[in-house]
């Protein structure tokens, strides 16, 4: 049974065969760092469904509790330590997290419940409540910045949780990693603070500062959200207030503070101070209240003593809530600058079979050399299917800046991108070019009236997101710049979602008829794909790699590549090596001929 289990890579989460030592996708080592899907814990009570993520020296899995028939989260302490003392310290921190969570999760609804804690093999496991829903990081990626009411409601709920943690005795509990990715909005609109008490032992005072996987720092936090005192390994309760201020700034502006640290590598406190820049809130969002801007600015002050405590933040945010805006309900991903994607599907009318056969024969006679004009080309079959596409005419206007806000490069691009409606992948160039040229006429088409099934497996919103992801990836650039100290840096810049706009506000969704035609040619069946002419196009698009550059031998009637035929010295027609006739004239050199008649003439 174990031989059939898939082992998930702890780095890229790709499935690999059981027993594999290295990941087939990213190439990193697999041995001893992950649980395979289907593996069981506690004598079969918990079954691993899939990995959810990694953080520091821990990995998180979605598991099924077979005894109580419920979904849970299993957090496993795993990783590599240089010494046994480091491993012992990490295990002690993990056990402390389990004890704190077990005590606090029953006292506040904003924390996930803790169910179990045990050791199995060389690993420690913590079983917690599974919170279905989307993280705020995912909502930012799909819907852009939040409204002021949503951000204030979320901030007030998180501040209430932090105030509860900071009021614990004898010592306050510091989360140390507040960020959108650790805040989950469930189906009832309630916020849960997860990844609590990240299992990270504080490094020694002389340790260097650097970035790890996912932006986690050696100071137990995430770059961009980590305050100066936490970088200096002196976290306190108001460190969480700074992280919440950075989170509110991200929720309201869509500007991720971690972007400034990408590729930074080894850091020092001077460089951290230059990269931790938060532009004034109302310069990016003029619609927010001045009182909210003042609060976020106070939460991001570099000195912890000057920041308001979490209880004061909660009270201030609660006072900013207007009637009816205190409850944050799940919302459809939105685009502030564009209307919602259109759901109407257009269709190119499919041709009748006689028209398709005529187009096919005309293309074959034009493409295949040596085919007699009157020679019959039997068509054995012709099958029609409708293929779904998403066609987006886009414009990109992006400005890439350095951490200080200075313009480095401006990007202005325009074009047409075509995605397959089944898997969301870019379409091959010939068909994409055909659809791009016909795009103005496609908008005049009517919705389909036929009853043929069309396998649209992605919604209009999913196709729009796939188009934006593809355009973001293809227009990502590496920009070099020099700092005020004349140091050279390089950063990866990509256009934001708000910089990408589509003509009409949404991509076109259309059905395109595709005919698969099988014909008898050259003594064997040949299959080609034919797309009828698009509106305004004179000729069809035919995909038949096996027929391009081919010719019929006049002797045997078989199909060959033109490069493999021998040109007749008399008429110039190509002939295969088996049918060629060699003759010498006047006792001189032998010449090839396609037939005895050409040789005699």
**Confidence bin at 199 (pLDDT 50/70/90):** very low
Question: For strand 508-521 and strand 574-575, is the pairing parallel, antiparallel, or unpaired?
Answer: unpaired
Q: Which residue has the higher pLDDT, 31 or 260?
A: 260
Structure tokens at 427: 């379409």
- Treating both helix axes as pointing N-terminal to C-terminal, what angle do 310-320 and 290-299 enclose, rounded to 10 degrees? 170
Q: Among 43-57, 314-328, 336-350, 534-548, which is the least confidently predicted range?
A: 336-350
- pLDDT value at residue 6: 52
Query: Is the pLDDT assigned to residue 327 strictly greater than 60?
Result: no
Mean pLDDT value of segment 41-45: 91
Alpha helices (runs of H) in 331-390, residue ranges in sequence order: 353-367
| pLDDT band of 298, cuts 50, 70, 90 | very high
Edge-to-edge strands, sheet with 46-55? 40-41, 46-55, 58-65, 70-77, 123-129, 114-120
Q: Supply the angle between the helices 310-320 and 148-166 in degrees, to the nearest 10.
A: 150
Q: Alpha helix locations (H) across 407-459? A: 429-437, 439-442
Quickly state the pLDDT bin for 16 (edges 50, 70, 90). Answer: low
CATH number given to 133-320: 1.10.510.10
- Write out the H or E segment, with its range, that includes residue 63: strand 58-65
Tell me the two tokens of residue 82.
């240089």
pLDDT confidence tier of residue 444, bands split at 50, 70 and 90: low
pLDDT value at position 301? 92
For residues 288 and 81, which has the higher predicted lDDT (pLDDT)?
288
Rounded to the nearest integer, the mean pLDDT of the chain is: 78
Query: Could you say which DSSP state residue 83 is in?
Result: S
Q: What one-character DSSP code corresponds to residue 146?
A: P
Pairing mode, strands 46-55 and 58-65: antiparallel
If you classify domain 2-129 with CATH, what class do you get? alpha beta
pLDDT higher than threshold 60 for residue 47: yes
Distance of alpha carbon 302 from alpha carbon 307, whole angstroms = 8
Q: What is the pLDDT of residue 313?
A: 93
Question: Which tokens belong to 381?
Answer: 């079959």
Largest CA distance in the chain: 115
Question: Running DSSP on this structure, what letter comes out for residue 36?
Answer: B
Counting residues of the chain whose pLDDT is more than 90, the rounded percentage is 14
Mean pLDDT of 453-475: 78
What are the structure tokens assigned to 235, written together? 């976290």
In sequence order, which residues have a C-beta less than 8 Å from that of residue 504 and are 6 or more positions away? 342, 393, 443
Predicted pLDDT of residue 241: 95
Sequence ranges of the chain with CATH classification 3.30.200.20: 2-129
Tell me: pLDDT of 483 over 80: no
pLDDT band at 338 (very low <50, low <70, confident <90, very high): very low
Question: Which pLDDT score is estimated for 48?
Answer: 92
Judged against a pLDDT cut of 60, whether residue 539 lies above it is answered with yes
Six-digit token string for 534: 């698009």
Q: What is the pLDDT of residues 362-407, one digit of tens each?
A: 888 888 888 887 788 888 888 888 888 888 888 888 888 777 677 7
Structure tokens at 163: 């105030």
Window from 86-95, 253-262, 452-461 with minimum mean pLDDT:
452-461
Which two tokens mark 374? 């009157």
The pLDDT of 70-91, averaged and rounded, is 79
Q: Which of 556, 601, 600 is nearest to 580 (CA)?
A: 556
Q: Tell me the mean pLDDT in the region 582-590.
A: 72
pLDDT digits (tens, 9 = 90+) for 165-190: 888 877 788 888 899 988 998 877 88
Q: Is 359 helix (H, G, I), strand (E, B) or coil?
A: helix
Give the mean pLDDT of 500-507.
Answer: 80
Judging by DSSP bridges, how do beta strands 345-347 and 508-521 pair with one another? parallel
pLDDT for 337: 38
Residues of the chain with CATH 1.10.510.10: 133-320
Q: Is 269 helix (H, G, I), strand (E, B) or coil?
A: helix
Q: The tokens of 211 are what?
A: 């970035």
| Bridge partners, residue 117, by sequence | 126
Name the pLDDT band for 549 (thresholds 50, 70, 90). Answer: confident
Residue percentage of the chain with pLDDT more than 70: 79
- pLDDT at 232 > cutoff 50: yes
Q: Which of 154, 147, 296, 250 is nearest to 496 (CA)?
A: 250
pLDDT over 80 at 19, yes or no: no
Tell me the average pLDDT across 597-601: 81
Q: What share of the chain is helix, strand, coil (3-state, %, to 5)?
A: 30, 25, 45
| More confident: 401 or 344 | 401
Q: What angle do CA 18, 20, 24 make, to 5 degrees?
A: 110
Q: pLDDT tens digit string along 129-166?
A: 888 888 899 889 888 899 999 999 999 999 999 998 88
Listed range (63-67, 93-97, 164-168, 346-350) with the worst mean pLDDT: 346-350
- Quickly list H helices, 260-380: 269-275, 281-284, 290-299, 310-320, 353-367
What is the rounded distance in angstroms from the CA atom of residue 35 to the CA atom of residue 485? Answer: 47
Is the pLDDT at 339 greater than 50, yes or no? no
Q: 444 Cβ partners below 8 Å, 6+ apart?
A: 535
The reported pLDDT for the residue numbered 110 is 87
Q: How confident is the model at residue 5 (pLDDT cuts 50, 70, 90)?
A: very low
């Amino acid at each position: 049974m174990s031989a059939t289990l898939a082992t998930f890579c702890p780095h890229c989460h790709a499935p690999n065969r059981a027993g594999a030592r290295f990941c087939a996708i990213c190439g990193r080592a697999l041995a001893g760092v992950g649980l395979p899907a289907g593996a069981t814990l506690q004598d079969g009570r918990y079954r691993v469904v899939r990995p959810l993520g990694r953080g520091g020296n821990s990995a998180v899995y979605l598991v099924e509790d077979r005894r109580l028939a419920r979904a849970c989260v299993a957090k496993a302490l795993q990783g590599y330590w240089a010494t046994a003392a480091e491993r012992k310290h990490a295990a002690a921190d993990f056990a402390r997290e389990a004890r704190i969570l077990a005590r606090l999760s029953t006292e506040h609804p904003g924390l996930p419940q803790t169910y179990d804690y045990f050791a199995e093999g060389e690993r420690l496991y913590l079983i917690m409540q599974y919170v279905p829903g989307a993280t705020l990081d995912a909502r930012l990626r799909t819907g852009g910045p939040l409204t002021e009411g949503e951000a204030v409601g979320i901030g007030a709920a998180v501040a209430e949780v932090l105030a509860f943690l900071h009021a614990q005795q004898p010592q306050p509990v510091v989360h140390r990693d507040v960020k959108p990715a650790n805040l989950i909005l469930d189906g009832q609109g309630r916020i849960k603070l997860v990844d609590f008490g990240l299992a990270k032992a504080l490094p020694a005072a002389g340790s260097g500062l650097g970035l790890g996987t996912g932006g986690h720092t050696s100071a137990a936090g995430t770059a961009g959200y980590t305050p100066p005192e936490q970088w200096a390994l002196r976290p306190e309760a108001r460190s969480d207030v700074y992280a919440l201020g950075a989170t509110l700034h991200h929720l309201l502006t869509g500007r991720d503070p971690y972007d400034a640290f990408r590729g930074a590598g080894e850091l020092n406190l001077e460089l951290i101070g230059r990269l931790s820049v938060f532009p004034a809130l109302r310069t990016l969002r003029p619609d927010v209240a001045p009182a909210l801007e003042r609060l976020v600015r106070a939460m991001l002050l570099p000195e912890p003593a000057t920041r308001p405590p979490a209880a004061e933040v909660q009270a201030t945010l609660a006072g900013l809530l207007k009637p009816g805006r205190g409850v944050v309900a799940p919302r459809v991903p939105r685009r502030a600058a564009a209307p919602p994607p259109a759901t109407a599907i257009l269709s190119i009318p499919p041709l009748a079979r006689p028209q398709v056969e005529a187009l096919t024969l005309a293309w074959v006679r034009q493409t295949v050399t040596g085919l007699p004009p009157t020679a019959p080309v039997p068509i054995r079959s012709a099958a029609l299917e409708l293929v779904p596409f998403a066609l987006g005419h886009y414009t990109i206007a992006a400005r890439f800046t350095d951490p200080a806000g200075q313009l480095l490069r401006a990007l202005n691009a325009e074009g047409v991108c075509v995605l397959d409606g089944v898997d969301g992948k870019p379409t091959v160039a010939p068909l994409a070019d055909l659809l791009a040229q016909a795009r103005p006429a496609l908008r005049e088409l009517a919705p389909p009236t036929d009853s043929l099934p069309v396998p649209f497996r992605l919604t209009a919103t999913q196709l729009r997101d796939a188009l934006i992801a593809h355009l973001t990836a293809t227009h990502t650039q590496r920009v070099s710049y020099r700092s005020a100290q004349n140091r050279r840096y390089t950063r990866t810049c990509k256009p934001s979602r708000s910089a990408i706009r589509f003509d009409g506000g949404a991509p076109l969704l259309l059905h395109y008829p595709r005919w698969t035609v099988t014909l008898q040619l050259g003594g064997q069946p040949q299959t080609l794909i034919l797309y009828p002419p698009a509106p305004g196009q004179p000729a069809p698009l035919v995909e038949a790699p096996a027929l391009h550059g081919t010719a019929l031998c006049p002797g045997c009637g078989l199909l060959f590549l033109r490069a493999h035929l021998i040109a007749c010295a008399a008429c110039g027609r190509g002939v295969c090596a088996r049918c060629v006739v060699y003759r010498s004239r006047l006792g001189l050199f032998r010449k090839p001929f396609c037939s005895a008649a050409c040789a005699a003439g």
